[in-house]
């Protein structure tokens, strides 16, 4: 019986993690979020997936999520926190969790954007984890405006201060298959914590 090892078809899953009609992140890939409200973006993703959420943060990081901050987005009991003592273990943990297929979302807080090779390894690990069930995705939280090479998408989220409204600005800075774009968001009383207000561009 012939076995076809090579094909011209893409092996990437076509479905994505949808946050709104216009905002989606591909599964089995690594994504990046930056900006002062990047933790809010990560919690938005967490609210959109079922099951446990693995959140990796450096042991030396004094600022940590707490249940009161998570509760407006999703059940805090879904979170498992991993606190590696060494910087080089942050991406290693992320890679191993993705490969295991144990969760659909791994969030990793990094002190700086990673290099190309570790990002490629995360893509491959997420694809491998997807062979065991629903494909996971990784979200890397990086300071300032990010800049990880080879990332599937890069998002920047910040609060849009106003005397009358409590809004946020979400920018898609980079994507392999979509142009840069910007949205204005507001807190939502429905199942998703944010909703689009207007398109800003």
Evaluate if pTM is beyond 0.95.
Answer: no
**What CATH topology corresponds to 23-144?**
Rossmann fold (3.40.50)
Contacts 24+ apart (CB under 8 A), 184-193: 184/160, 191/47, 192/19, 192/20, 192/44, 192/47, 192/48, 193/40, 193/43, 193/44, 193/47, 193/72, 193/73
Between 100 and 188, name the one with better pLDDT: 100
Mean pLDDT of the region 9-27: 75
In tens, the pLDDT along 86-132 reads 999 999 999 999 999 999 999 999 999 999 999 999 999 999 999 87
Calpha distance 95→89 (Å, rounded): 10
Distance CA 177, CA 2 (A): 34
- Domain range list for the chain: 23-144
Residue with tokens 């938005």: 44
Q: Can you give the pLDDT at residue 90? A: 97
Average pLDDT over residues 12-37: 87
């Amino acid at each position: 019986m012939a076995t076809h090892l090579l094909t011209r078809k893409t092996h990437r899953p076509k479905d994505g993690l949808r946050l709104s009609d216009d905002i989606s992140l591909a599964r089995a890939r690594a994504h990046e979020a930056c900006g002062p409200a990047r933790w809010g973006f990560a919690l938005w993703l967490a609210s959109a997936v079922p099951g446990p959420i693995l959140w990796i943060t450096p042991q030396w990081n004094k600022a940590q999520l707490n249940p009161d901050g998570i509760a407006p987005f999703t059940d805090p009991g879904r979170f498992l926190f991993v606190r590696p003592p060494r910087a080089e273990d942050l991406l290693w943990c992320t890679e191993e969790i993705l490969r295991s297929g144990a969760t659909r979302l791994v969030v990793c807080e990094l002190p700086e954007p990673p290099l190309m090779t570790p990002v490629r390894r995360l893509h491959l690990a997420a694809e491998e984890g997807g062979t065991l069930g629903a494909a996971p995705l990784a979200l890397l939280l990086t300071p300032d405006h990010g800049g990880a090479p080879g990332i599937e998408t890069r998002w920047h989220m910040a609060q849009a201060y106003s005397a009358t409204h409590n809004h946020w600005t979400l920018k898609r800075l980079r994507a392999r298959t979509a142009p840069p774009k910007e949205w204005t968001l507001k807190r939502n009383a429905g199942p998703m914590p944010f909703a689009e207000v207007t398109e800003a561009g």
